[in-house]
């Protein structure tokens, strides 16, 4: 198990906190809380060791295009980069919606 | 309607399947909210409380923020209800120290409400392999505490078990199903105690071939469970159908005797016949079909008839 | 002979006829006027259900336990709560019964019957005491022992209290037995050592006897005394399982449970 911490400059703001996903095989959950600093701080806990480079690349690419400020906690159980990006998009989308929990399934 | 293929349009019995809003495809949180009246559900100890298992990271496993169990309280057909939903995708829906504490505490708080004149029902979404082995004796004790808490509430308010699938209900948490006031299965729900692989490794392939899926379904599947009176309703995997079955099950109230108290019925089924072999008769395994799909479910939901089926079989 | 049978025989003065060969029932006095019904699940080589011949809790055993307990509840129902006799579960169970018949009949429900009865007795005021003299595993322990007001165990290397046997645990969690033993050093709930188990908050006493396999007179005296003390504590305590959260060990070992419960209770509306 590995923990990674990364930070990105992020100027966009989100309205509210949001949660998506489950820590199931091939999936991950993301907890997002908006922040006042222009920073997206990301903590990744992942069952699979040794993929730092891949994580960095995926998150670098994501936050370059979707720089929403706040704290992101990713609890990962072997999701592919595609799933990670999808869940990140989902959590940001959910944070823009008015409060009503929907299905967290992809 | 123009989206329906001709092969389905001409067969009314398939239309319910086509139009269904799958309950099984929802995660535990979404299932819990989908059962309660719209906009009445409130989750307690939610992901942002971050009350996780302390035992997983030391084993190289990533915890989930809700420890794989959601507690959502709201209204069900206008009456207070707490839904306790197990997330099958996390660690096989197994119960650990924290998820067990959440479930037991929710049932005890509901019992407290009931004692102080606020009637409440509970719904348990059993998507579970039982005790979380990675949490050993604390997982085991947590299940014991859930069972005790369920019994605290059961005399005052209905406790309904829902087994939807795809995992089903196995292991120590199936004792919960045994104690529940009523049990609702979807047509994809399996209810067992020991999983096929465990039986095969303990007792050999002749006892239970875990690769024989037809055998698994014929023993643990909804048809057998309904026919033998171990389940009270079997419904289509469709959110409105599951919700309606749960509402019906709650509305039937608290019975005088629960399934797990009917020792005479349970003992009679194990009595040997004249040949000295344990007798076990199974009436026909057909499930009665509801008049119109989507309205009531695949099977009639008559709580009283489960007792009858058990006595007859 | 199983330790269930040995300890049951040592502690009982009057064995009763039992409808099921695998359930031993006795009404005894633990000393100083402490009436108790003793219950044990014992091996039955002629059990109708072949998968339940070695002391496992299966279909007949679930019913047998429930029946023996409900009988006591009925017999003592006219007595004041604090006069109702104790129920002592002598525990040496390898597991629940694993079998096809068991699945077909719905073993989960037969075990639920025993759980229901034990909890009903406890709630009605009968002190329910579990005495673990051997193995207490999984569904077997859930059925016979884990609904007790007080849990005692022998302080002995052969005591095995766990969610599943070690080889099965290794197989299912995809680890070697050596790895599991290492993990148990930092993850106490994984330990197979009864002294480690006792630190988790729900052990009410470890008994050091001279001969756990063949208890001497002194051993039986010690155990009876410990059982009497447990009965007294049960009578004073609550009838639910909250003592498992309130013990000194639980404050530390189960702080995650306490935190979750506290948060849920604060938020409940």
Is the CB of C197 less than 8 angstroms away from the CB of B143? no
Q: In whole angstroms, give the CA distance from residue B183 to residue B259.
A: 10
Judge if ipTM > 0.95: yes
Q: Does the pLDDT value for residue B57 go beyond 50?
A: yes
Q: Return the number of other C-beta atoms located less than 10 Å from residue B12's C-beta.
A: 10
- Which chain B residues are Cβ-neighbours of A105 within 8 angstroms? 25-27, 30
Is the CB of C163 less than 8 angstroms away from the CB of B139? yes
Q: What is the per-residue pLDDT for B303?
A: 37
Detail the DSSP E strand segments found in chain C. 15-16, 23-29, 35-41, 86-93, 128-137, 150-154, 160-162, 205-207
Q: What is the per-residue pLDDT for B310?
A: 59
* Residue B15 region by backbone torsions, left for phi larger than 0, else alpha for psi between -120 and 50, else beta: alpha
Our CA-based measurement puts residue C44 at a distance from the nearest CA of chain B, in whole angstroms, of 16
Domains and CATH numbers, chain B: 20-191+230-255 (3.90.226.10)
Supply the mean pLDDT for chain B.
88
Q: Point out the residue among B54, B179, B270 whose CB comes nearest to the CB of C112.
A: B179
User: For B171, which DSSP code?
Assistant: G
Q: What is the mean pLDDT of each run of 10 residues along chain C (269 residues)?
A: 93 90 96 96 94 96 98 98 97 95 95 98 98 97 98 97 92 90 96 98 98 97 98 97 97 98 97
Q: What is the per-residue pLDDT for B307?
A: 53
- Which chain A residues are Cβ-neighbours of B29 within 8 angstroms? 101, 104
Q: Does the pLDDT value for residue B285 go beyond 70?
A: no
**Element holding C66 (H helix, E strand):** helix C59-75
- Which chain A residues are Cβ-neighbours of B65 within 8 angstroms? 19, 29, 31, 73, 75
Our CA-based measurement puts residue C18 at a distance from the nearest CA of chain B, in whole angstroms, of 14
pTM: 0.93
**Which ranges of chain B would DSSP assign to H, the alpha helix?**
6-9, 12-19, 28-35, 97-115, 136-154, 174-179, 196-203, 213-220, 222-227, 239-251, 263-268, 303-312
Q: Which residue has the tokens 């998968």?
A: C51
Q: What is the per-residue pLDDT for B295?
A: 29
Q: What are the tokens at C179?
A: 């790895």
Using alpha carbons, list the distances in angstroms from residue C104 to B132, B184, B213, B225, B229.
24, 18, 15, 9, 12
Q: What is the per-residue pLDDT for B171?
A: 97
Q: In whole angstroms, give the CA distance from residue C269 to residue B80.
A: 11
- Which chain C residues are Cβ-neighbours of B207 within 8 angstroms? 51, 98-100
Q: Point out the residue among A1, A31, A103 whose CB comes nearest to the CB of B62.
A: A1
Calculate the CA B156 to chain-centre distance. Answer: 20
Peptide bond preceding A97 in cis form (omega within 30 of 0) = no
CB-based burial of residue C108 (10 Å sphere; 0-12 exposed, 13-18 middle, 19+ buried)? buried
B155: nearest CA partner in chain C: C120
What band does B272 get if pLDDT is binned at 50, 70 and 90?
A: low
Q: Point out the residue among A27, A45, A75 whose CB comes nearest to the CB of B89.
A: A27
- For the CA atoms of B236, B241, B245, B248, what is the dihedral angle to 10 degrees? -150
Q: Return the number of other C-beta atoms located less than 10 Å from residue A98's C-beta.
A: 6
Q: What is the per-residue pLDDT for B11?
A: 82
Q: In whole angstroms, give the CA distance from residue B298 to residue B303.
A: 15
Our CA-based measurement puts residue A28 at a distance from the nearest CA of chain B, in whole angstroms, of 9
Is the CB of C104 less than 8 angstroms away from the CB of B224? yes
**Largest Cα span, chain B:** 62
- How far separated are the first and last CA of chain C, in Å rounded? 54
User: For C186, which DSSP code?
Assistant: H
Q: Point out the residue among C106, C120, C147 whose CB comes nearest to the CB of B144.
A: C147
Sequence-ordered list of residues with C-beta below 8 angstroms from that of B220, at least 6 positions apart, any chain: B168, B190, B191, B192, C103
B192: nearest CA partner in chain C: C103
Residue of C127, C131, C130 whose CA lies nearest to C36: C127
Is the CB of A1 less than 8 angstroms away from the CB of B50? no
Least confident of B100-109, B176-185, C14-23, C33-42: C14-23
Is the CB of B102 less than 8 angstroms away from the CB of C244? no
- Strand partners of residue A46: A2, A76
Q: In whole angstroms, give the CA distance from residue A47 to residue A53.
A: 15
Q: In whole angstroms, give the CA distance from residue B230 to residue B226.
A: 6
Residue of B229, B219, B249, B256 whose CA lies nearest to B311: B229
Q: What is the per-residue pLDDT for B308?
A: 53
- Which chain B residues are Cβ-neighbours of A101 within 8 angstroms? 29-30, 33, 41, 43
B122 contacts B82 by C-beta, under 8 angstroms: yes
- Which chain A residues are Cβ-neighbours of B27 within 8 angstroms? 22, 103-105
- 3-state DSSP call for residue C219? helix
Q: What is the per-residue pLDDT for B291?
A: 26
Probe site for chain C from B108, B152, B178 (most C CB atoms < 10 A): B178
Is the CB of A29 less than 8 angstroms away from the CB of B41? no
Q: In whole angstroms, give the CA distance from residue B287 to residue B296.
A: 13
- 3-state DSSP call for residue B300? coil
Q: Point out the residue among A19, A75, A103 whose CB comes nearest to the CB of B62.
A: A75
Is the CB of C98 less than 8 angstroms away from the CB of B199? yes
Q: What is the per-residue pLDDT for B13?
A: 75
Our CA-based measurement puts residue C37 at a distance from the nearest CA of chain B, in whole angstroms, of 19
**A residues 43-72 lying closer than 8 A (beta carbon) to B:** 45-47
Detail the DSSP E strand segments found in C84-171. 86-93, 128-137, 150-154, 160-162
Which regions in chain A score pLDDT beneath 70? 99-106
Q: In whole angstroms, give the CA distance from residue C151 to residue C130.
A: 5
What band does B273 get if pLDDT is binned at 50, 70 and 90?
A: low
- 3-state DSSP call for residue B140? helix
* Residue C140 region by backbone torsions, left for phi larger than 0, else alpha for psi between -120 and 50, else beta: alpha
Q: Which residue has the tokens 């530390």?
A: C252
């Amino acid at each position: 198990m590995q923990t990674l911490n990364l930070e990105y400059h992020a100027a966009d703001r989100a309205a509210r906190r949001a949660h998506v996903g489950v820590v199931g095989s091939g999936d991950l959950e993301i907890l997002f809380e908006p922040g006042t600093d222009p920073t997206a701080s990301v903590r990744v806990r992942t069952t699979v060791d040794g993929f730092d480079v891949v994580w960095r690349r995926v998150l670098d690419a994501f936050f370059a295009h979707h720089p929403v400020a706040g704290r992101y906690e990713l609890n990962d159980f072997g999701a592919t980069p595609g799933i990670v990006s999808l869940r990140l998009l989902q959590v940001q989308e959910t944070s823009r919606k008015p409060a009503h929990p929907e299905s967290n399934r992809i | 309607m123009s989206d329906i293929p001709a092969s389905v349009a001409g067969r009314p019995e398939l239309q319910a399947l086509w139009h269904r809003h799958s309950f099984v495809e929802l995660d535990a949180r979404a299932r819990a909210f989908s059962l309660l009246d719209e906009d009445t559900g409130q989750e307690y100890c939610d992901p942002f409380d971050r009350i996780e298992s302390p035992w997983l990271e030391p084993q190289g496993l990533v915890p989930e923020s809700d420890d794989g169990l959601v507690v959502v309280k709201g209204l069900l057909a206008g009456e207070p209800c707490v839904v306790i939903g197990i997330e099958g995708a996390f660690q096989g829906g197994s119960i650990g120290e924290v998820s067990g504490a959440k479930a037991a505490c929710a049932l005890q708080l509901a019992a407290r409400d009931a004692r102080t004149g606020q009637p409440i029902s509970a719904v348990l979404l059993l998507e579970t392999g039982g005790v979380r082995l990675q949490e050993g004796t604390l997982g085991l004790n947590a299940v014991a505490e859930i069972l005790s808490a369920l019994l605290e509430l059961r005399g005052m308010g209905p406790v309904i078990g829902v087994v939807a699938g795809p995992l089903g209900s196995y292991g120590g948490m199936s004792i919960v199903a045994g104690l529940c006031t009523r049990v609702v299965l979807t047509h994809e729900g399996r209810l067992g105690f020991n999983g096929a692989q465990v039986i095969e490794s303990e007792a050999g392939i002749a006892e239970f071939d875990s690769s024989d899926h037809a055998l698994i379904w014929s023993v643990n599947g909804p048809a057998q469970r309904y026919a033998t009176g171990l389940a009270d309703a079997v419904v289509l995997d469709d959110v409105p159908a599951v919700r309606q079955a749960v509402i019906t099950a709650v509305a039937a109230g608290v019975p005088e005797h629960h399934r797990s108290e009917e020792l005479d019925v349970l003992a009679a089924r194990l009595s040997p016949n004249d040949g000295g072999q344990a007798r076990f008769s199974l009436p026909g395994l057909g499930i009665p079909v509801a008049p119109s799909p989507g309205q009531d479910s695949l099977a009639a939901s008559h709580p009283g008839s489960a007792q009858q089926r058990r006595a007859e079989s | 002979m199983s330790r269930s049978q040995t300890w049951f025989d040592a502690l009982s003065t009057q064995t009763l006829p039992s409808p099921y060969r695998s359930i031993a029932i006795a009404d005894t006095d633990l000393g100083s006027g402490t009436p108790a019904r003793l219950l044990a699940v014992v091996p039955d080589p002629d059990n109708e259900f072949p998968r339940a011949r070695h002391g496992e809790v299966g279909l007949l055993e679930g019913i047998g336990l429930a029946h023996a307990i409900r009988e006591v509840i009925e017999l003592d129902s006219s007595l004041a709560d604090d006069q109702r006799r104790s129920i002592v579960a002598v525990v040496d169970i390898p597991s629940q019964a694993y079998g096809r018949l068991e699945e077909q009949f719905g073993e989960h429900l037969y075990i639920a019957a025993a759980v229901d009865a034990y909890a009903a007795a406890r709630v009605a005021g009968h002190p329910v005491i579990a005495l673990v003299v051997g193995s207490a595993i999984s569904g077997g322990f859930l059925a016979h022992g884990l609904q007790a007001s007080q849990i005692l165990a022998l302080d002995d290397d052969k005591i095995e209290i766990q969610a599943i046997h070690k080889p099965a645990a290794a197989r299912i969690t995809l680890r070697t037995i050596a790895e599991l033993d290492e993990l148990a050093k930092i993850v106490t709930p994984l330990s197979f050592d009864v002294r480690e188990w006792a630190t988790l908050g729900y052990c009410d006493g470890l008994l050091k006897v001279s001969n756990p396999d063949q208890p001497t007179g002194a051993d039986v005296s010690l155990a009876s005394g410990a059982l009497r003390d447990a009965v007294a504590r049960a009578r004073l305590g609550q009838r639910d399982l909250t003592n498992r959260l309130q013990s000194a060990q639980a404050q530390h070992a189960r702080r995650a449970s306490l935190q979750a419960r506290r948060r849920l209770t604060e938020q409940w509306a």
